[in-house]
Amino acid sequence: SDPAIQPGSPAERGGLKANDIILEVEGKRLDETHTLAGALRGFDVGQTVQLTVYRNGSELSLRVTLEEKS
């Protein structure tokens, strides 16, 4: 299967790791009705977004720059 975080991807460069769970995008909590794809729809390529992720029992804040999907 494909790795969750592609080597060299914006996610990897932004500090995301394979088992991270993204909880928030720009302070908006993700859930069943507010998906990651939906949250990112309002942003443009080249913009940097603030993510809150859950990793190993704690929450971290990361900044990821959005890029075109290749």
pLDDT in tens, 3-26: 677 888 888 888 999 899 999 999
- pLDDT confidence tier of residue 70, bands split at 50, 70 and 90: low
Are 6 and 12 in contact by the 8 Å Cβ rule? The answer is yes
Tens of pLDDT, residue by residue over 42-64, are 899 999 999 999 999 999 999 99
- pLDDT confidence tier of residue 1, bands split at 50, 70 and 90: low
Q: How far is it, in rounded angstroms, from Cα 70 to Cα 51?
A: 21
Tokens standing for residue 65: 């720059």
Please name the residue ranges forming H helices in 1-70.
10-13, 36-40
